[in-house]
Amino acid sequence: MSGRAQLMWDEAVTGYDFGRDHPMDPVRLALTRSLVGALGLDRDVNVVAAKAAGESTLRLVHRGDYIDAVRAASADPGSADPSYGLGTIDDPAFAGMHEVSALIAGQSVGAAEAVWRGEALHAVNFAGGLHHAMPGAASGFCVYNDAALAIARLLELGASRVAYIDVDVHHGDGVQAAFWEDPRVLTISLHEHPRTLFPQTGWPEETGAASAEGGAVNVALPAGTGDAGWLRAFHAVVPELIAHFRPQVLVTQHGADTHFEDPLAHLAVSLDAQRAVQLACHELAHEHADGRWVALGGGGYAVVEVVPRSWSHLVAIAAGRPVEPTTPVPDEWRRQVYARTREPAPHRMTDGRWPVPWAAWDEGYDPADRLDQAILATRRAVFPLRGLLP
């Protein structure tokens, strides 16, 4: 197996553009790619452009009538059918929507194929992680669910145990729905509580169908949760379940919208804590999945201040050359940011919170603490179903 990581990238993915006033600004992808280059990470990864996902691949997750509806809206945006979630405020139709959505999906599927076949140990598609798309509908800025398609392709290639970890601020509802009845897939989502954030799902009681009990895991975090609580929750739930499940491949989604600067949600996580979870996912892949790791992007709407730095850290970790948090952001990149956005760029690859302190669950918990109540609700709902002590 090659130890060299793959970065999946095709400039055309920046055509995933819902319009000027939409939060999902494709400049975040372009700025991330240029920061990866400015940091010299291109020397440590193979940059690969995969082909767009074709009809048969899309049908691994999505219904044929929905794919047809996306094609129709892509050719004539004015004809978009809102019954398929298209032409809505969240998912406006735009010309070429099918083609670029299939291209993003193709990068995640290509990443999964490369890792499964041993062409790369790790593969990153930060343009992916579009985890809200359902089998028959667009949702939450997501047209095709590339994360679910990557997992479905791994199963098609012969994988019998795939674990999915989603640390986006929003519940990974589309991926959970795709594998709700499939015991071969373990989906774990840490997200802001559904009482206070879209998509209003991801309660701890959502644990999978009867055929896959304990296959869905949801940690619903109180609004305002910061670094210490976020890392405590991750480590109180995720490593034990991954160790028990023993996945052959680990697929992770790293939405950067948990950040305290993000305009669409209410967690208070720093770039440094995001980096800590990226490192933890990398470690879990090596401990339990023979290093096989597919890492995806996701949400993130602080498109200058947060997203490019967070996902550049992800690429660096996958490449085996983590960027130290104190590293200055290259001046050339900062100039480019200002030229493109007229916004000032950050100066360092940190929010000044590294290393991030947090308290381990096995050191004890406070039953009156809202965060600990959230952790305990998940452990009580899921762990016994998997033969583990809550």
CB proximity list for 282: less than 8 A, separation 6 or greater: 122, 293, 317, 318
Task: Encode pLDDT of 59-101 as tens digits.
Answer: 999 999 999 999 999 999 999 999 999 999 999 999 999 999 9
Q: Which of 3-7, 222-226, 312-316, 331-335 has the lowest mean pLDDT?
A: 3-7
- CB atoms inside a 10 Å sphere around CB 299: 26
Query: What residue spans of the chain are helical by DSSP H?
Result: 27-38, 55-58, 64-75, 97-116, 146-157, 173-178, 227-245, 271-288, 307-318, 331-341, 370-382
Task: Encode pLDDT of 297-346 as tens digits.
Answer: 999 999 999 999 999 999 999 999 999 999 999 999 999 999 999 999 99
Nearest Cα to Cα of residue 125 among 149, 141, 143: 149
For 341-355, b where at least 16 C-beta lie within 10 A, e where not — what string?
eeeebbeebbbebbe
Nearest Cα to Cα of residue 105 among 161, 67, 157: 67
170 carries an active-site annotation: no
User: Treating both helix axes as pointing N-terminal to C-terminal, what angle do 27-38 and 331-341 enclose, rounded to 10 degrees?
Assistant: 160
| pLDDT over 80 (residue 2) | no
CB proximity list for 205: less than 8 A, separation 6 or greater: 381
CA distance 142 to 264: 16
Q: Tell me what the mean pLDDT of segment 106-118 comes to.
A: 98
Question: Torsions phi, psi of 359, nearest 5?
Answer: -105, 130
| pLDDT over 60 (residue 134) | yes
| pLDDT over 80 (residue 138) | yes
Task: Encode pLDDT of 172-199 as tens digits.
Answer: 999 999 999 999 999 999 999 999 999 9
| pLDDT over 80 (residue 3) | no
CA distance 257 to 171: 12
CA distance 123 to 127: 12
Task: Write down the pLDDT at residue 1.
Answer: 44
Task: Encode pLDDT of 21-54 as tens digits.
Answer: 999 999 999 999 999 999 999 999 999 999 999 9
Task: Write down the pLDDT at residue 4.
Answer: 86
Residues 131, 133, 136: CA angle, nearest 5 degrees: 150
Average pLDDT, the chain: 98
CA distance 309 to 59: 34
Instruction: Exactly one of 62, 98, 122, 132 is catalytic; name it.
Output: 132
CB proximity list for 187: less than 8 A, separation 6 or greater: 164, 166, 172, 175, 176, 179, 215, 216, 217
Contact 336, 34 (CB under 8 A): yes
Task: Write down the pLDDT at residue 279.
Answer: 98
Q: Is the dihedral of CA 128, 131, 136, 139 positive or negative?
A: negative
